[in-house]
Structure 1
Amino acid sequence: MKRLRFFLFALATFSLTGTGLFGAAGDKPLNVVFILADDLGWGELGSYGQKKIPTPHLDRLAKEGSRFTRHYSGAPVCAPSRCVLMTGKHLGHAEIRGNLPAPKLLPQFTEGQYPLSEQAVTLAQTFQKAGYTTGALGKWGLGPVGSTGEPNKKGFDLFFGYNCQSLAHSFYPEYLWRNSEKVIINTKPVPGHGKQPEGEVKMEDWIGETYAPKLMIQEAEKFIQAQAAKPFFLYLAFIEPHVSMHPPRESVERFPEEWDTEPYRGQNGYVPHPRPRAGYAAMISDLDSYVGRVMTALDKAGVAENTLIIFTSDNGTTHPRSAKTHFHVGGVDAAFFNSTAGLRGYKGSVYEGGIRVPMIARLPGRIPAGSVNETPGFFADWFPTLCEAAGLKAPAGLDGQSLWTALTSGQKQERTKPLLWVFPEYEGQVAVRLGDMKAVRQKLKTKSPGAWELYDLSKDPAESADIAATHPEIVQQAEALLKQEMADNAIFPLTVPGVTQP
């Protein structure tokens, strides 16, 4: 009888481990909290060199965990980056490769982005099938409610936030979605776009009654407390610091008045702001406070020790639009904050400033505290990484490789799978990283496509010295890799001369 009991216990333990309910993190269920910032630049956190905006909670996360210095987003803009994250497919294979509004091709919808297909398998679906409670709070962007890509059909038990990226331009929207239900939060919503060419720009003219981000962080705290007794996967896709610049007055007033010598009048899109530098700093500071609240909620729920926290950003900081002003889109002054820390390019670009992003991971007792890691990685890696961490079997055919060894050892891990980006928007761009070498090609959708460029990132992280002419063999390797890894996509087509047929 004792032998039978031992056998049954061993069988149950093996079964739970196989479904991820014990996992690689130890003998307790591993929870996962994945925090995604929106348009946060490489140099906009204290632990990545930011001098003007305090980010104490994220700095603490870095001290208690590992900070990666060669981590990349899935794409230079929102929707495709999130697609790569959720599906583990790089942009050569991803279904969603741009920010295409769903109504343009699917007139039955009035909002949202082009949806993931029914066949697409997401990270959340894998965790859900393994018995995890799954939640997504914030911005979705991978298919409107009622489509094959809506969050509830892609593995999330709970979704609360913005389904549509365009509606997320307002921090005081009329409604948010709770699963398939519209929840009215402002009877007098504030638009995400507007101009004021003349007169005094007043903050109160662009502030509404109910601030959406406050509702979303409150929902995150409730989720953690409610699910503390069982394993959970929580995806927090916060909307800061993506413009419009709508932070509460009390957040803005924490920063020096002398920073701002002129208002932003909406000339580069989105809404005006009387103190745009303070306003942008306030958005990043508020984002940092949400991370602090998440950490506190995990502590209160008693699950901090067995919860893996990942923090990163979907792409780089906002880009310039007009040479007539130093303001970038939405009033961001990236030069003032040194937002790219010397990297070339911004959001919308496959240069480093558009796709290299902060990434911090913490798991007490497993990820070495205070470590800095140079392992190259990108969003496609998170699917296999989190599966390995939780003891789940990852689906076949993923483009990423697990970073779990790098995370837990604190040592640099060699790259065995390609790092590449196929981006049909912003005139058409591709990039391939081969070791320390990075090949880039621009303007592929113009009448005069650019030639291949090549940069040695170990010596030239600013991508200032093009060495393609002296290393044709590496350019050929990049082309060969793209031929192998770039599948056709009728919704997001891109022709690369020498690689694909027009």
Structure 2
Amino acid sequence: MKRISALCFLLVTAVASPAAEKLNVVFVIADDLGWGELGCYGQEKIPTPNLDKLAKQGSRFTQHYSGAPVCAPSRCVLMTGKHLGHAEIRGNMQAKKLLPRYEEGQYPISEKARTIAQVFREAGYATGAMGKWGLGPVGSTGDPNTKGFDLFFGYNCQSVAHSYYPSHVWRNSEKVVINQKPIPGHAKQPEGEVKLEDWIGETYAPKLMIAEAEKFIADNAKKPFFLYLAFIEPHVSMHPPKESVEKFPKEWDQEPYRGENGYVPHPRPHAGYAAMISDLDSYVGRVMDSLEKAGVADRTLIIFTSDNGTTHPRNADSKFSVGGADAKFFNSTADLRGFKGSVYEGGIRVPMIARLPGKIPANVVNDSPGYFADWFPTLCEATGLTKPEGLDGESLWPAITSGKNTAHTKPMLWLFPEYTGQIAVRIGDKKAVRQGLKTKKPGNWEVYDIATDRSEKKDIAAGSADVIQQAEELLKTEVSENTIFPMEKPAVAGK
């Protein structure tokens, strides 16, 4: 009898072990976080102890790029593994512009678009998303539940996410009212005292989202899970809680932000911006603590990155950028050129940290290039799942796990029809850029050697005919027609 019991135990263990050993994935994406805004990337004014700790426990990447220079298309590239030449969503368009039946949300990805979350769910993973979606309204073909997530909690629409005290958030298809008196995401106050309390509401949405993430980890600790945390910090409006703002020196702020560059006023804009990044860092710490408490930290791959670069300037008469941000004060782009909305390095080069004890080397700085199109094949390889055909990216898993600098074998491509129309192609260490493609006078090709000139100060196009030819040939084969987000290829637009 004892032998039979022992045999049964071994059989049950053999069946149960593969599921128990499946790798969990937590993918954290910040919103408009600049390349130089974390301590481990050189930030000197804003403490980010949890992210710095994550970098020490894992590897920090210096040449990682987002999928696009703005929110929705960047997330589309991430979720579908298609670069901007093939991505369905190539700009920040509200769904109601072409689909008036939807009151909120961005233009949806189609029914045929396949996401990494769908692959995880089909493989038996619990799938959760908290934060900002931006790839289709509730009930549309881009609904997060339709696109692979068992649980979605947060902002379906990125415009609603301009307020940290909105009227509602979504739990799957349920609209959850959280503020009877919501705080608007946009306002101006040209005169008078700007008071912090005037822009603080009853319920702070990010607190609900991080609590939901902690619960998801606890609830799913005994089965494999994929958790996508699309936090909204530090995207303006600037709405951080008073206690977060008061952590930073009063002498930082000699004048208020009055909303002259959009979004809402703030009496202490420097402290307010730092508070948002500090809060973001605290959420990462809470996620790490939750994984430890659930006993799954050592078999959970954590990725941290940002959807694009830091907030850009708007009004030359104001010392502040959009929403009261001040990239110069915080050295947010370090020495990179450009901001959010630009295909120069400052708009698309983003922080990226990867941690998995025993598999990803600790305290390593890795210069391997990569971008959002690579995450679909990377996560498939990391978890042993079969990747779909037709992905544009390549797996970064060998580079991530080896700790060695590895070349990106495929060119990286960004075709961005907004902000006057832009294209960038990185081939090896050379990067070709064209601007103004939707204006009457499109710019000429520019070429930069990123290995020696990451600030993109020296245009070497005159001696780089081969690079330009490669870029134009690539665009002929790697750009599909997109009637929703149209833009002529530069080889045509430049004639």
| TM score, norm. by length of structure 1 | 0.95
Who is 1:460 aligned against? 453
List runs of 5+ in structure 2 lacking aligned partners.
none
**1:209-220 matched pairs, under 5 angstroms:** 209-220=202-213
**1:6-405 matched pairs, under 5 angstroms:** 21=19, 28-405=21-398
CA distance in 2, matches of 1:55, 1:482: 40
Q: SS at 2:191's partner residue?
A: coil
Q: CA offset at residue 500 of structure 1? A: 7.1
**Cα shift readout 1:132-169 (whole Å, capped 9, x = no counterpart):** 00000000000000100000000000000000000000
CA distance in 2, matches of 1:372, 1:48: 10
Who is 1:495 aligned against? 488
Q: SS at 1:357's partner residue?
A: strand
Confirm or deny: 8 A CA contact 2:434 2:444 kept in the other structure: yes
Q: SS at 1:317's partner residue?
A: coil
CA distance in 2, matches of 1:88, 1:62: 25
CA distance in 2, matches of 1:498, 1:354: 23
Amino acid of the structure 1 residue aligned with 2:470 = Q
Q: SS at 1:176's partner residue?
A: strand
Q: How many residues align?
A: 490
Q: SS at 2:29's partner residue?
A: strand
Amino acid of the structure 1 residue aligned with 2:443 = G
Confirm or deny: 8 A CA contact 2:411 2:428 kept in the other structure: no
CA distance in 1, matches of 2:397, 2:170: 34
Confirm or deny: 8 A CA contact 1:495 1:501 kept in the other structure: no
Who is 1:414 aligned against? 407
CA distance in 2, matches of 1:436, 1:418: 10
After superposition, the Cα gap between the structure-2 partners of 1:478 and 1:241, relative to the gap in structure 1 and judged at 3 Å, is same
CA distance in 2, matches of 1:16, 1:379: 32
Q: CA offset at residue 499 of structure 1? A: 4.6
Confirm or deny: 8 A CA contact 1:366 1:408 kept in the other structure: yes
CA distance in 2, matches of 1:81, 1:385: 17
List runs of 5+ in structure 1 lacking aligned partners.
23-27
Confirm or deny: 8 A CA contact 2:434 2:446 kept in the other structure: yes
Q: CA offset at residue 9 of structure 1? A: 6.4
CA distance in 1, matches of 2:489, 2:288: 45
Q: SS at 1:287's partner residue?
A: helix
CA distance in 2, matches of 1:458, 1:422: 22
CA distance in 2, matches of 1:298, 1:442: 44
Confirm or deny: 8 A CA contact 1:376 1:415 kept in the other structure: yes
Q: CA offset at residue 501 of structure 1? A: 10
Q: CA offset at residue 418 of structure 1? A: 2.2
Amino acid of the structure 2 residue aligned with 1:181 = E
Q: SS at 1:358's partner residue?
A: strand
Q: SS at 2:401's partner residue?
A: helix
Q: SS at 1:381's partner residue?
A: helix
Q: CA offset at residue 16 of structure 1? A: 8.8
Confirm or deny: 8 A CA contact 2:258 2:266 kept in the other structure: yes
| TM score, norm. by length of structure 2 | 0.96
Q: Which runs of 4+ in 1 moved over 6 A?
A: none
**Cα shift readout 1:300-344 (whole Å, capped 9, x = no counterpart):** 000000000000000000000011112000000100000000100
Tell me whether 1:471 sits opposite 2:469 in the alignment.
no
Confirm or deny: 8 A CA contact 2:475 2:489 kept in the other structure: no
**Cα shift readout 1:380-432 (whole Å, capped 9, x = no counterpart):** 11100001111100000000101111111101222122201000000000000
CA distance in 1, matches of 2:409, 2:94: 35
Amino acid of the structure 2 residue aligned with 1:55 = T
Amino acid of the structure 1 residue aligned with 2:366 = N
CA distance in 2, matches of 1:485, 1:501: 18
Amino acid of the structure 2 residue aligned with 1:281 = A
Q: SS at 1:172's partner residue?
A: coil
Who is 1:25 aligned against? none
Q: SS at 2:334's partner residue?
A: coil
CA distance in 1, matches of 2:168, 2:491: 48
Which of 407, 427, 433 is matched with 1:434 structurally?
427
Q: CA offset at residue 468 of structure 1? A: 0.4
Confirm or deny: 8 A CA contact 1:65 1:368 kept in the other structure: yes
Amino acid of the structure 2 residue aligned with 1:32 = V
Q: SS at 2:466's partner residue?
A: helix
Amino acid of the structure 2 residue aligned with 1:166 = S
After superposition, the Cα gap between the structure-2 partners of 1:52 and 1:147, relative to the gap in structure 1 and judged at 3 Å, is same
CA distance in 1, matches of 2:326, 2:408: 35
CA distance in 2, matches of 1:134, 1:86: 13
Q: Percent identity?
A: 74
